[in-house]
Amino acid sequence: MPSVVILISGSGSNLQAIIDASQSEQCPINIAAVISNRANAKGLERAQQANIKTAVIDHTQFNGREDFDQALVKQIDTYQPDLVVLAGFMRILTHEFVEHYTGRLINIHPALLPDFPGLNTHERAIKSGVKEHGATVHFVTTEVDGGPIILQAGVAVKSNDTAKELAQRVLQQEHRIFPLVIKWFAEKRLVLNDNKVFLDQQQLPETGINYAQVTENQ
């Protein structure tokens, strides 16, 4: 069973969705460890309740990003993971870190990339007047939120939406698409080759797959 290390910084709701999927056998993985850069991250409690190993590497205890990332790599590699998952990990990673895990490092972003990379995506979506917003799972490259897209799920933006309301609906979609992408990777159906995404040996378009088009047997 493929080994996965999950990196978090906060509440860990996506982590919980992945744990639930792995425990229900929907997602054939072994979560080897959950690592946080914040000791008070609620996601650590979620992992401990599921009897998953946890570790804290506090970024404030390092002189810079390079030193922190080196310590993080050292910790991750003790588990020899097949896949590293960024589930609300609020750190910009160095090129060296990203290149070390090329092809086995994925992230979820609360927007329909390439729209709204970075922070405050829901506020920005409402302010811009877009009719659709959503979430994206993508491979991580050295360009922040710019890696090859795997799967997206959209939600309608309502005329009276608040950022909090919109965020909640997007989060529901995140909890659906993230475990599914991890399942594809675990089953060796999903690969990154020459910065292009392949699912079942078919190259995906630059915008990835839309979750609404995913059939049950995928």
Residues tagged active-site = 109
Calpha distance 190→43 (Å, rounded): 27
- Residue 14 and residue 88 in contact, taking contact as beta carbons nearer than 8 Å: yes
Calpha distance 208→74 (Å, rounded): 32
Calpha distance 101→2 (Å, rounded): 15
Pairing of strands 132-139, 105-109: antiparallel
Beta strands in the chain (DSSP E): 3-8, 30-36, 54-56, 83-86, 105-109, 132-139, 149-156, 190-193, 196-199, 202-203, 209-210
Report CA dihedral (184, 197, 94, 175) to the nearest 10 degrees: -40
DSSP letters spanning 110-149:
SS-TTSS-SS-HHHHHHHHT-SEEEEEEEE--SSTT-SPE
Which of 147, 161, 143 minimizes the C-alpha distance to 208? Answer: 147
- Say which DSSP state 168 is in: H
